[in-house]
Amino acid sequence: MQSNLFGEIETQGFTIEQASKNANVSTATIRNWIKTGYLEMSSKGIITQESLDNFMLNIAGKEKLNARANKSLKESPLTIHSPFGGLGGFKGGINTLIKNFSGENIGVEYENSLSNAHRNKEGIYYTPSWVVKDMFKNIKIQSDFKFLDPCCGSGNFIIEAIKSGVAPENVYGFDVDENAVFITKERILQEFGFETPNIKVGNFLEKIFELNQEKSFFDLIFTNPPWGKKIQKEEKEKISSFFGCGNSLDTTALFMGASLTLLKKNGILGFLVQEAFFNITTFEDIRKKIIAKKILRFIDYDKAFKGLLTKAQAIIIENTEANADDIIECFAENKKFDRKLSSFTKNPKLIFNFWTNENETQVIEKLYTTKHITLKDKAKWALGIVTGNNEKFCSNIKKENYIPIYKGSDITKKGLKEATNFILNDFSNFQQIAPLKMYEAKEKLMYKFISSDLCFFYDNQQRYILNSANLLIPLNIGITNEQLTALLNSEIINWLFRKLFATHKVLRSDLELLPIHTDYFLHYSDFSETDYLNYLQIKKNQNGTFSTLKKAILHNLTNTN
């Protein structure tokens, strides 16, 4: 790692060539995304990992991009998903594919033949067999168990269920892609010599009503649902209402809520989901539904899918009533530790921060049990300016009628870097802009948006910001804006942010959950990390971890004895 002129560790990033490979697009497309402001450079030729992660997860194929930025994400006539019996990206079609490949490789080759846009729109990322095998770990299976994969893809979960002991005649599956269903059935026929009539083409969220009428209930339901599949909002709300998913309208939540209605008592549910499932407000209502069940395991598989930069994580649930003392096995960053169910119920928004151990959980609890306020309803918020075309509207030299504008990367805990971007003071042609009075406020806090670290700057010079930064204006919270900046930039609050949210984006909804210990300034006139930790009764250990002071004292006494 290298330090920059401001003494900071440079953000990990990618060259344009590396980014194009990761995103599976051309280098020209990457350059277009840079020019249009979607990707941010940390230094010459280096794209920040945070901006690329955010773009691929939250923008590519989801937001409406301008024609130049979006051209590589459109369906290609050579790779577009073709009707059953043909395969546009694989010469010779499905039959040739099955003839030339076997087992899991059939699905891999088929998935590779689909365009990026189609895969993104439909949420098609087939689960690697090593992930499937791990999700089945320690589950006792009987031959008469009934197994269901609601969105079976090329059949990896179904194949593993049969290998683990489920009779082929007892496996069920659905997928909207008839090519994928054909591959799954052919794989079962090749490996087990059985034609499976219960694997069908169809949308599970529609077919589930037929299963309910047939009173088909299952001992095991394992799947990788289509993350973020495009469905009309009205349809999502209708499905959510029927299956009790509340405001959790992502297809992951809808598939999970629907699957629970078909799971037998004591049955096992295994879902591979996006990391946002565990900590984003959008999934809070489905987490409420899940936490009432006995959770067996949380597993982090890191970036398991080629071309998808978000982590893949799993949750394994037993359909029995939860107990506060239930022990949940947590696997993250190649470590295993146990957590009590009750340690999650105390988290704001029922965040499932399973990547933190029991000791870290006690520190988090201490931060929240110490008297504090939050910024919920106590601040005004605004986004940075979205020009729609930074290359056109921004300049790296000062011109007449141009004013300085600051990027997220210009904001550091040690101060604000000198402006290297300037923008015409006529904002009428920009794509999105907050009311000018927000940028021109007498006092405000500016902060990085694309970051895994909190980085705030107190501004009293009415500076303007681009959309890689956001701003907030506190409303009479009892401390000065400079004091609030010091608290939010503190090491312990940054640690809390990472342990609770584990995200590369600094979201308003997350900031509104952070504890703001305003009473600290009743005891100390100035801020220091040491005084703040003493006030909180938290100790920083030599290895960089934190402990509650009572626990730290006991630990020291034990070591002394």
- Render pLDDT for 22-81 as a digit per residue (tens, 0 to 9): 665 667 778 777 766 678 776 666 887 667 766 665 555 444 344 444 444 443 332 333
Residue 97 lies in a domain: no
What CATH number is attached to the domain comprising 428?
Answer: 3.90.220.10
Shared-domain flag, residues 345 and 263: yes
Strands of the sheet containing 464-465, edge to edge, are 394-395, 421-424, 402-406, 464-465
Shared-domain flag, residues 417 and 490: yes
DSSP 173-218: EEES-HHHHHHHHHHHHHHH----TTEEES-HHHHHHHHHHTT--E
Please state the rounded mean pLDDT for residues 515-534. 97
pLDDT score, position 200: 94
**Per-residue pLDDT for 295 more than 70?**
yes
Residue 444 lies in a domain: yes
Shared-domain flag, residues 404 and 462: yes
Confidence of residue 96 (pLDDT cuts 50, 70, 90): low
Residue 552 lies in a domain: no
The percent of residues in the chain predicted with pLDDT above 70, rounded, is: 80
Question: Domain total for the chain?
Answer: 3
Domain boundary among 73, 96, 113: 73
pLDDT score, position 216: 74
Q: What domain range includes position 424?
A: 379-527
Residue 415 lies in a domain: yes
pLDDT averaged over every residue in the chain? 84
Shared-domain flag, residues 224 and 322: yes
Residue 5 lies in a domain: no
Residue 557 lies in a domain: no
Confidence of residue 109 (pLDDT cuts 50, 70, 90): low
- Render pLDDT for 335-387 as a digit per residue (tens, 0 to 9): 999 999 999 998 999 999 999 998 999 999 999 999 999 999 999 999 999 99
CA distance 51 to 104: 33
- Tell me the β-bridge partners of 459: 444
CA distance 189 to 211: 24
Shared-domain flag, residues 334 and 185: yes
Shared-domain flag, residues 458 and 335: no
Domain boundary among 358, 393, 409: 358
Shared-domain flag, residues 203 and 250: yes
Comparing 561 with 457, which gets the higher pLDDT? 457
- Amino acid found at 174: F
Residue 29 lies in a domain: yes
What CATH number is attached to the domain comprising 347?
Answer: 3.40.50.150
Shared-domain flag, residues 330 and 396: no
Shared-domain flag, residues 339 and 451: no
Please state the rounded mean pLDDT for residues 475-490. 97
- Tell me the β-bridge partners of 385: 466
DSSP 496-545: HHHHHH--SB--HHHHTTS-B-TTHHHH-SS--HHHHHHHHTEEE-TTS-
Please state the rounded mean pLDDT for residues 469-475. 97
Shared-domain flag, residues 388 and 349: no
Shared-domain flag, residues 324 and 399: no
Shared-domain flag, residues 169 and 225: yes
Residue 176 lies in a domain: yes
